[in-house]
Amino acid sequence: MKDKELQFWYFLIEGNLDNETGAYGNFYTYGERCGEALGKTYSIAQQEGIINPTVIETTRLDNLDEFKIPEEAERISDSTYMIPSLNTFKLNPEEYFFKPPTGISFDTIIGEYDSELILENFAAYNKNENGVYELQLVVDKTRLVETFFKCFDFIEPIDAFWIYICEHWLNRRRELWASKSITNKNKIIKFLKNHQANTIENGFVELVINSNIGKTNLMLCEHKKVQLHTESEEIFKNFIGNLIDLGFEQTKDFYNIEFGYHHWHYRPIESLNRDDFAMMLIDNEFENIKLEK
């Protein structure tokens, strides 16, 4: 392996050692991109006894002139170094801390706010000057997928399904892809489950579920927040009630990884590159809709 040709990443990994013990580990991994390096790191973390590893913080190291691998770090594989001593703690079911959903991670650089301020809750905003009600919901890694799918029920009937490719994926233009055939709840869920690493877990895409009633859009944004935009007051109020029934609390002190936190976007190791992703969409009868510049 020619390490200098690869990116080099630091990962703070959290997981369990058993039912009573949690652990943090420090890893340094080479890879072609962040998500690939992270996938390698997860494999090593599991070999080292960390159950259900998840990345909490990351940063890219190969473009830092002053960085040196810590002396205590040991090379575990061709790609990965690890500090052998894990930081362990007793698991407390009543203690909560936010686990970033797959596709996004905190940076090691401390942001404007403490990460402990991010909670699973939502903020709802009254009708704006354009007649649109807005809601934003934070859900962490452990139940984002199931919560997003449940939200489909709150806006039915569903009329359209769109996918945005963000411009910061390889610094190319933003693209909008609209499905010509996957336009009802069951078909959309089936597609997203079959392509979860490429869609829900991809930090470079946004998913939009549309209902013509109230010009309603349900979005999973690139920062993995669930967002609602609607002109229907009834849909807005019902959506809030349904979220409360799921156990989410409404708040005015809304914190999320998008604002006030340094962070990184990535896509999982098994996901498609941008060009192959576009070909997959074409194969599934998506149409590339030209966006205004």
Q: How high does pLDDT run on average in the chain? A: 96
183 and 273 together in one domain: yes
Same domain, 132 and 262: yes
Statement to judge: residues 179 and 214 lie in one domain:
yes
Indicate the residue among 65, 95, 125 that finishes a domain.
Answer: 95
Considering the domain architecture, whether residues 151 and 236 belong to the same structural domain is answered as yes
Neighbouring C-beta atoms of residue 161, cutoff 10 Å: 23
- Of 230, 231, 250, the C-alpha closest to 240 is 250
- Is the pLDDT at 3 greater than 80, yes or no? no
| pLDDT reported for residue 207 | 98
Let me know if residue 234 belongs to a domain. yes
> Residue 86 domain-assigned?
yes
Q: Look at residues 30, 44, 237, 78 and name the one whose alpha carbon lies nearest to residue 154.
A: 237
Residues 6-45 pLDDT 10s: 999 999 999 999 999 999 999 999 999 999 999 999 999 9
Residue (of 195, 194, 193, 225) closest to 208 by Cα position: 225
Do residue 192 and residue 136 come from a single domain?
yes
pLDDT per residue as tens digits for the range 144-175: 999 999 999 999 999 999 999 999 999 999 99
| pLDDT of 160 | 98
Q: Are residues 130 and 261 in the same domain?
A: yes
End position of a domain, from candidates 29, 61, 95 = 95
Q: Do 96 and 22 meet the contact criterion of CB atoms below 8 Å apart?
A: no
Residue 58 domain flag: yes
In the chain the first and final C-alpha atoms are separated, in Å, by 42
Domain of residue 55: give its range.
3-95
Give residue 265's pLDDT: 98
> Once rounded to an integer, what is the mean pLDDT over residues 195-210?
98
From 67, 95, 123, give the residue that closes a domain: 95
76 falls within a domain: yes
pLDDT at residue 125 tops 90: yes
The pTM of this model reads 0.95
**What whole-number distance in Å separates Cα of residue 234 and Cα of residue 222?**
27
Share of the chain above pLDDT 90, in %: 95
Q: DSSP for 213-244?
A: GGGEEEEE-TT--EEEEES-HHHHHHHHHHHH
- The pLDDT of residue 292: 81
Q: Is residue 264 part of a domain?
A: yes
pLDDT, tens digit (0-9, with 9 covering 90-100), for 281-293: 999 999 999 998 6
pLDDT at res. 2: 45
What pLDDT, on the 0 to 100 scale, is given for residue 4? 61
pLDDT tens string 210-220: 999 999 999 99
Q: Are residues 89 and 180 in the same domain?
A: no
Helix (H, G, I), strand (E, B) or coil at 166: coil
For residue 49, name the pLDDT band (cuts at 50, 70, 90): very high
Q: Are residues 152 and 234 in the same domain?
A: yes
Q: How many domains does the chain have?
A: 2
90 and 157 share one domain: no
Task: Give the model's confidence band at 1: pLDDT under 50 very low, under 70 low, under 90 confident, else very high.
Answer: very low
Higher pLDDT, 5 or 78: 78
Within-domain flag for 102? no
Indicate if 76 and 121 belong to the same structural domain: no
Do 64 and 143 lie in one domain? The reply is no
In a domain? residue 100:
no
More confident residue, 268 or 96: 268
**What pLDDT is recorded for position 95?**
87
Classify residue 108: in a domain, yes or no. no
Question: Above pLDDT 70, what percent of the chain?
Answer: 98
| 62 and 182 in a common domain | no
